[in-house]
Amino acid sequence: MPNQNGNMYGLTILSPIIDDPKIKISHDTALRMYLQDMHRHAGSPFTKVSGTHFCRLVVMDDVVFVGNPAKEEHLKSKYLVFTSNFYGGLDAYLEEMARKIPEVVEAIWSHCIGYTGADPKAFAAYMKKCQIETTFYFAAVNDQTVEQTLTALQAKVEFAAFIEENQGKSPAELQREFAAFWERMQKLPPPLAGLKELKKSRAAGA
């Protein structure tokens, strides 16, 4: 099914960028400058939008025709490409973007043709007009929220460390250590979204 795999949604948006030769700094240049300075990983504003597994923003100048026979072909404008893999429904996700990070939405899409502002419903309607179908979409994790996925990955890291630290112990010692390990694991908070790397938590005996 295009765009969806289980509870995961693969969103692809192409928004045409305004071309105004009268301004000193073109809209595509201003957009590139903003995106270049945007925080990434745990500091990314998109970590505030629940459900976001990962997303990308790219300014596309043109495309190369790859058909046969070869011919010269160009886009009518430059485009902002926004892709996101998220958990949940499309309208709810887009509206949450406008509610949670309206200043980011405004700073980015105000450079695009047809953008009408960060009102949640208006923004969702605009984005869906710019949406193209994500074909052959496959999600590695298709039935888990971001928090559930991060918790599972953190458990894997913690358990690997537990195995390494308890090599050579007797069955009785292993049983005691595992009981203590499991108790600590139940108390661990979910990892923060956007971290570059999950590491062993101090709360689990680091």
The pLDDT tens digits for 122-159 are 999 999 999 999 887 777 666 777 677 777 777 778 87
Reading the block at residue 115, the tokens are: 């953008």
Closest of 83, 59, 79, 69 to residue 10, by C-alpha: 83
pLDDT bin (cut points 50, 70, 90) of residue 205 is very low
Query: CB count, 10 Å around CB of 123?
Result: 22
* Chain-centre distance for alpha carbon 200: 23
| C-alpha distances out from residue 138 to 1, 11, 44, 189, Å | 10, 12, 24, 29
Reading the block at residue 117, the tokens are: 């502002």
**Is pLDDT above 50 for 204?**
no
The pLDDT tens digits for 10-40 are 999 999 999 999 999 999 999 999 999 999 8
The pLDDT tens digits for 88-132 are 999 999 999 999 999 999 999 999 999 999 999 999 999 999 999
- CA–CA separation, 88 and 111 (whole Å): 27
> What predicted TM-score, i.e. pTM, was given to this entire model?
0.74
- For residue 16, the cross-strand partners are 79
- End-to-end alpha carbon distance in the chain: 44
